Structure 1
Amino acid sequence: MGSIFRRFHLSSPVERIERALEAAQAVLDGFDLERIETARKSGGDPVTEADVAVDDALRSNLPEPDEGWLSEETADSPERLDKESVWIVDPLDGTREFVEGIPEWCVSIAYVVDGQPVAGGILSPPRNISIVGAVGEGVTVNGEAFATPTPTQLPGALVLASRSEVKRGEWDAFFKTEIAVRNMGSVALKLGLVAAGQADATWTLVPKNEWDVAGGAALVLAAGGVVSGLDGEPVRFNRENTLMSGFVATGSVAHDAVIKLIDDTPWSVE
């Protein structure tokens, strides 16, 4: 990682991300995933003992005293809004898939400076893949440097869609366009696969929380891709309201072409 981080911290964000993902893997290895205890949050979403344990492991390895913290599994504190640097994490992005035994979930970490994700990492044990990167430094996949993919034309481009959005019929119009659509759980995993060149783009049509998006967004940006709102405008993180509107992330395919496709397609949401 560049000296800009080492000047202020004992270890760089990337080093801490790698250490935290290793700790998360060790925690997950200690669970019998077929017998894990699951509860329900007030909104009905599942939460497991693994979510909480991984959250503890991440918080033990990531923030320093002058840095903020935002996690799906930690009570939010307004103190983060006054911090220049903030860690935004989702201990298990795709908990529903995790509980159902669907291999579409991951641990997600983002390091955000002045509202912009500058470093991130995801760990997907079911896929045996770890993706880590920083803006200006590139991306590694399972520890190996990843080369930026050759630009792809929009016709035939592989786009990863939300499983729940597809199930509700919100992507029906996109299946009739020139792109190839594959539905998948976990926002962070989809973003990570775009960053790793295993898909060309992903977007969501409904609001998501910052912890769903930030880690994968950092990876897409680190890989040289683009992340914006559905309107093409830049997105910011560490806001008071953590719910963000739909977003678009592109890797090898032109971002403007994807925005135009979304604008021209008669989609709707429930």
Structure 2
Amino acid sequence: MSDDQTAGRPNDVDLIVEAALEAGRIALGFFRQSPEVWWKNNGQSPVSAADFAANESLAAILRSARPDYGWLSEETDDDEQRLSQATVFVVDPIDGTRGFLSGLELWCVSVAIVTDGRPVAGVLYAPALDELFVATAGGPALKNGKPISVSQRLGDDPHRLATGEDMLKSFDPDFRRNVERVKHIPSLAYRLAMVADGRLEGTIVKRNSHDWDLAAADLILERAGGALVDLSGSMLRYNRQQVSHDELCGASAAQLPEFLRQLSHRRDG
């Protein structure tokens, strides 16, 4: 990796890659080993010993290297001091914990550096698949060191779209007939990476996703030629008081206007 000044400091990208790889190695040691599980959010969300171990590793590497950066992690109690810090680490030790606990390989470690509300460096590491996605502001999106780009869909090809069946039913019939709905992908970050590398044209994100699910994948998708936006078409802001988001759409730049039109049609209807 190069010393990318846009990523906060020289070697910031190397730092978050190192941290993600180590956290992924630790999490992989728990994979398919029936780790201890607890429930949070009033019993709605599982968290495992693997999540906590990976989070401890990320914190140890990142916070010691950059003590002046803020910290926002799914598995750390929120400290609002981050709001006063221009640059913040935004991490999810295991994105897709339900899939991880079910033995599915579609989970990843997500690490982003956010400066002034937008990600400037992002890493997704899917250790069970041996896939590493990296992007910096102003640079290409890479998968295992090679540039990736969003799908260059031809006019008659079906839209490969990750969305719920209930949402799909509300779209225009003509549009719906040309959609190939993709089976549920438990990791939202990995789903957005699939849009970035062209395996999907887009995904609809239900409300209540969080900064740690999105920040790294947002940048990777942007640098691959796509965008993650709210339903008004606006880019997301991170490290706010409120870290959850309303409905979103991630897609290739070419397909995004049509997807947003369909979502608008659904709301208007």
Q: What TM-score do the two structures reach when normalised by structure 1?
A: 0.87
* Residue number in structure 2 paired with 1:222: 223
Could you tell me which residue of structure 2 aligns to residue 107 of structure 1?
109
1:241-252 aligned within 5 A: 241-251=242-252
Contact 1:154 1:253 in 2 (8 A): no
- Counterpart CA distance in 2 for 1:95 and 1:147 is 27
Are 1:33 and 2:32 an aligned pair? yes
Q: Which runs of 5+ in 2 are unaligned?
A: none
Shift of 1:264: 2.1
Query: What is the aligned-residue identity percentage?
Result: 28
For structure 1, the residue ranges without an aligned partner over 5 or more in a row are none
Equivalent residue number for residue 51 of structure 1: 51
In the alignment, the residues of structure 2 paired with residue 27 and residue 5 of structure 1 have an alpha-carbon distance, to the nearest angstrom, of: 29
- Judging changes above 3 Å, is the alpha-carbon distance between structure 1 residues 88 and 226 closer, same or farther for their aligned structure 2 residues? same
Separation in 1 of the partners of 2:228 and 2:254?
12
CA distance in 2 between partners of 1:154 and 1:257 (Å):
15
* Aligned equivalents of 1:197, 1:230: Cα separation in 2: 22
Structure 2: distance between partners of 1:107 and 1:204: 19
Q: Which moved more, 1:81-90 or 1:227-236?
A: 227-236
Q: Hey, what does 2:69 align to over in structure 1?
A: 67
The aligned counterpart of 1:4 is: 5
Whole-angstrom CA distance in 2 between matches of 1:253 and 1:101: 35
Corresponding residue of 2:129: 127
Give the deviation of 1:112 after TM superposition: 0.9
The TM-score, its normalising length taken from structure 2, stands at 0.87
Q: Secondary structure at the match of 1:30?
A: helix
Aligned length: 261
Distance in 2 between the 1:17 and 1:152 partners? 36
Q: Do the aligned residues in 2 keep the contact of 1:93 with 1:107 (CA within 8 Å)? A: yes
Distance 1:184 1:147 in 2: 20
Native 8 Å contact 1:107 1:122 kept in 2: yes
| CA distance in 1: counterparts of 2:30 and 2:193, whole angstroms | 24
Once the two structures are TM-superposed, the CA of residue 90 in structure 1 deviates from its matched residue by: 0.8
Aligned to 1:197: 198
